[in-house]
Structure 1
């Protein structure tokens, strides 16, 4: 079984994002970048499918292909995935910050070329927080989808996914090929060992261009302004529970 894992290079989750002075976007200059945390979980689960870790049978996945769409430096993000255990990578170079629909169209073209049995990806990226590409990709491919996976079992040509919903847990069964997006509780990604980091340097990364896929990636949306969230105002002390209840009621009435 071949697994395709899309990964994105984003601002490291430990870094506080700064807005550009002209409010046109987020300032990426001299900022630490890393793999989107949800994508890291997807890579880890794909590697476990190959290794037979947790509840997966060994060799459930036979090949793991990682694909990224972004700037040339996104090769480093792919190398991280290769060091974790992925087999090879594809980088579709683009200096533009593509919208989710454009990303989904490019991934559809990659899927048609690679013919994976499973697309395993993060539920969202921590920069745009759109939570849209997985759903759009499944719709474009006309494949079944299961989002926010907290547990994944592959057996008998089906993906059984347990996902968190407002009322508790929901279990879905999807025939392969399918698109599965992963949530935080699925696993804890490993740290790549030094020997695996060295091995990853020899693994193949195919360099592609957006034009190679003949996909319309024109923007459909226009960003008018990006601003930082308002700063929290200072709290107030209350003398007792009665005053607290009174203040809460007055706030609720506003």
Structure 2
């Protein structure tokens, strides 16, 4: 999409774009799987999942009227979202539960937009969300990661052809849907070996006086449900 007037840009964002061909849809799914499954690629692509994870914590904190102080993203793909408010209650529970739920739910929302043909709208929505996260980033590495991710999304949405936008949108959504499951499996593996005593699941267990494994299972089921529903939308478009 080349530089245009505001009205033309608005028409493009709110308009309906054609879906890529079947082979491209399947190819983007395969590439997304390669970005998530092998350890060497996951070490880098997991940074994108961390943005969504910590962004989920931040959004939940704001929506539950907690005070959001900032977000930090680290080079080891971990992250930290700091908010203040009641150390217990629904607001704290929702904030803690939003992290692992955010990537698959974002993927599901993206699949829904794609099913309606709103591919450009999806890309712009991602850019807006990344700008909102960037405002709350409190370290240089985190800012660089968000800027690069947002810059790629903006460049594709502004300069990419309809075919390029479509392929990129499908790839991004497949990635979010597939990456909603692996972090949960990694979390439970760490917990099984005595690691991550302060994980989101363990914090939720203490907050709600329920087994942490219950929350791990819930995160896993959310990821699987979003993957199943999102894949159906993507493959039947």
TM-score using structure 1 length: 0.26
More strand by share: 1
In our comparison, the structure showing a higher alpha carbon Rg is 1
More helix by share: 2
Higher relative contact order (CA 8 A, sep 6+): 2
TM-score using structure 2 length: 0.27
